[in-house]
């Protein structure tokens, strides 16, 4: 089994995660909201879901991807706000521009989260820890928001570190301490171990990460299948994935793991539509078209299925991506009403506009969709992240 310290001893990775980003921006712009349970996204009178919740709202059990109707039951006095994506995007651009002052190796995970590989710039700016503290201080001083920072030798450990002391966290995991630290953590701290899997592992006698390493590989494989090998690598802190800047990306995707498994078809579709819209906006923001859309779905027993479809032509259309993802969910996945614990949408086989032969006579419907996407990208913030285009191709 590989060990992180022998494979990448000199790599330095930061994971930076804005605390409750959408809600924090709302508080930044309206200080009267400070200390109050703020929820951004859908409203209780609609079918939307919560996109972000302040830590005050989370204290009531509210979390992202929860239906707004459920959220208001948990937090009746909560403040529900329609999102302002134009404002969030503006703040995000300022933050990411700041990141790029220190390294070109910035891999966005979402509008409010990124990995930075700072291995090559420590002579100029100091140690990874010093860099992390410098960036954290600049974001607070220049933008007015709090970012949690994780510092480690790989992406898994850096992301784990940024989450260990939220909000306003700053955690460094030295390579020679990673395995000891991991051994004492609850098993749910490993990527891919959620609420249901945690219960399954508890039944198997695995409560902490160290318990996983004490069980023979053969028994783990019998119990958890191919997923066991990946879990064992994470348990020793091994992760060989590089930081990939967005301009080198081979795919753009978004996924979400549910705190509670979801079986309701309408709820799943609402979340899928939201993820599809995010992917389409990211494609347009970074100047890509996609040829392939992939649906990822994970069941409570950890079995994970992917279904892909090739588009008629390269596209960044929200409608194309949404409709393809919907069809994969309803017609290709074979869910048969079973609940899901994770769902995701990925656009791959990326090309830049202008690649390939254009159409001599453009489809008027597609031209309409393209113009509508442009308008929605500009005014999306007025209606929030839960804005839905409607079933114009249903």
Q: What is the DSSP code string of 119-170?
A: GGGHHHH--HHHHHHHHHHHIIIII---EEEEEESSHHHHHHHHHHT-SS-E
Least Cα distance to 92 among 12, 168, 24 occurs for 24
What is the per-residue pLDDT across 36-60, written as a single tens digit (0 to 9) for each?
A: 999 998 778 766 789 899 999 999 9
Question: CB–CB of 16/99 below 8 Å?
Answer: yes
pLDDT at residue number 258: 87
What is the per-residue pLDDT across 212-263, written as a single tens digit (0 to 9) for each?
A: 999 988 888 888 777 788 889 999 999 888 898 876 667 888 888 888 899 9
Residues paired with residue 262 on neighbouring β-strands, in sequence order: 340
- pLDDT mean across residues, the chain: 85
Rounded Cα distance between 326 and 310, Å, is 14
What is the per-residue pLDDT across 17-36, written as a single tens digit (0 to 9) for each?
A: 999 999 999 999 999 999 99
Residues paired with residue 208 on neighbouring β-strands, in sequence order: 186
pLDDT at residue number 131: 95
Residue 211 host element (H or E): helix 209-213
Domain that residue 352 falls in: 249-382
Helices and strands, counts by H and E, the chain? 16, 12
For residue 272, being part of any structural domain is answered with yes
Residues paired with residue 107 on neighbouring β-strands, in sequence order: 115
For residue 312, being part of any structural domain is answered with yes
pLDDT at residue number 268: 94
Residue 198 binned pLDDT confidence (cut-offs 50, 70, 90): confident
Question: CB–CB of 154/6 below 8 Å?
Answer: no
Q: What is the rounded average pLDDT of the residues 130-138?
A: 96
Which CATH number does the domain housing residue 368 bear? 3.30.1490.100
How would you classify residue 301: left for phi > 0, otherwise alpha for psi between -120 and 50, otherwise beta? alpha
What is the per-residue pLDDT across 65-90, written as a single tens digit (0 to 9) for each?
A: 888 889 999 999 999 999 888 899 89
For residue 273, being part of any structural domain is answered with yes
Let me know if 56 is a catalytic residue. no
pLDDT at residue number 53: 95
Q: What is the DSSP code string of 247-271?
A: GG-SEEEEEEEEEEEE--HHHHHHH
pLDDT at residue number 355: 39
Q: DSSP label at 359?
A: P
What is the per-residue pLDDT across 283-329, written as a single tens digit (0 to 9) for each?
A: 887 778 899 999 999 998 888 999 999 998 889 899 999 999 999 99
For residue 292, being part of any structural domain is answered with yes
Q: Which two tokens stand for residue 42?
A: 């859908």
For residue 39, being part of any structural domain is answered with no
Rounded Cα distance between 280 and 176, Å, is 41
> Percent of the chain at pLDDT above 70?
85
pLDDT at residue number 394: 35
pLDDT at residue number 249: 67
Q: DSSP label at 31?
A: G
What is the per-residue pLDDT across 371-385, written as a single tens digit (0 to 9) for each?
A: 566 555 554 444 444
Place of tokens 């060990």: 3
Catalytic residue selected from 4, 56, 113, 233:
113
> Percent of the chain at pLDDT above 90?
53
Rounded Cα distance between 348 and 220, Å, is 33
For residue 362, being part of any structural domain is answered with yes
Rounded Cα distance between 81 and 341, Å, is 27
Cis peptide preceding 73, ω within 30 of 0: no
Q: DSSP label at 208?
A: B
Question: CB–CB of 36/79 below 8 Å?
Answer: yes
User: How many domains does the chain fold into?
Assistant: 1
Q: What angle do CA 357, 294, 381 make, to 5 degrees?
A: 85
pTM of the model: 0.67
pLDDT at residue number 259: 80
For residue 343, being part of any structural domain is answered with yes
Residues with Cβ within 8 Å of 387's Cβ and at least 6 positions away in sequence, in order, are 277, 376, 380
* 128-138 helix and 85-99 helix, angle to the nearest 10 degrees: 140
For residue 133, being part of any structural domain is answered with no
């Amino acid at each position: 089994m590989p060990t992180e310290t022998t494979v990448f001893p000199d790599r330095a990775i930061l994971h930076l995660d804005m605390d409750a980003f959408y809600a924090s921006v709302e508080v930044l712009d309206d200080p009267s909201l400070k200390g109050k349970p703020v929820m951004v996204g859908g409203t209780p009178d609609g079918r939307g879901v919560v996109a972000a919740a302040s830590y005050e709202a989370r204290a009531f059990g509210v979390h992202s991807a929860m239906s707004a109707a459920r959220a208001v039951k948990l937090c009746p006095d909560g403040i529900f706000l329609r999102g302002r994506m134009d404002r969030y995007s503006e703040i995000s651009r300022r933050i990411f521009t700041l990141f790029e002052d220190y390294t070109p190796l910035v891999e966005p995970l979402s509008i409010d989260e990124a990995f930075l590989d700072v291995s090559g710039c420590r002579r100029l700016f100091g140690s990874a820890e010093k860099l992390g503290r410098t960036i954290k201080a600049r974001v607070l001083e220049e933008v007015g928001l709090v970012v949690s920072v994780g510092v480690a030798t790989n992406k898994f450990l850096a992301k784990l570190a940024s989450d260990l002391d939220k909000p306003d966290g700053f955690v460094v995991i030295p390579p020679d301490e990673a395995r000891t630290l991991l051994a004492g953590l609850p098993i749910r701290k490993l990527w891919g171990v959620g609420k249901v899997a945690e219960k399954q592992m508890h039944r198997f006698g695995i409560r902490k990460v160290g318990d996983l390493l004490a069980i023979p590989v053969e028994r783990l494989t019998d119990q958890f299948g191919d997923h066991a090998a990946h879990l064992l690598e994470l348990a020793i802190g091994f992760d060989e994935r590089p930081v990939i800047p967005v301009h080198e990306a081979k795919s753009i995707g978004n996924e979400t793991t549910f705190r509670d498994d979801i079986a309701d078809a309408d709820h799943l579709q609402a979340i899928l539509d939201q993820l599809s819209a995010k992917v389409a906006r990211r494609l347009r923001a970074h100047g890509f078209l996609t040829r392939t859309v992939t649906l990822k779905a994970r069941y409570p027993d950890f079995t994970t299925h992917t279904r892909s479809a090739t588009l008629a032509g390269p596209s960044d259309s929200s409608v194309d991506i949404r409709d393809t993802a919907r069809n994969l969910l309803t017609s290709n996945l074979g869910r048969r009403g079973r609940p899901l614990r994770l769902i995701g949408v990925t656009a791959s086989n990326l090309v830049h506009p202008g690649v390939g032969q254009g159409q001599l006579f453009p489809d008027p419907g597609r031209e309409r969709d393209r113009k509508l996407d442009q308008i929605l990208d500009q005014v999306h913030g007025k209606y929030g992240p839960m804005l839905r285009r409607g079933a114009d191709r249903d």
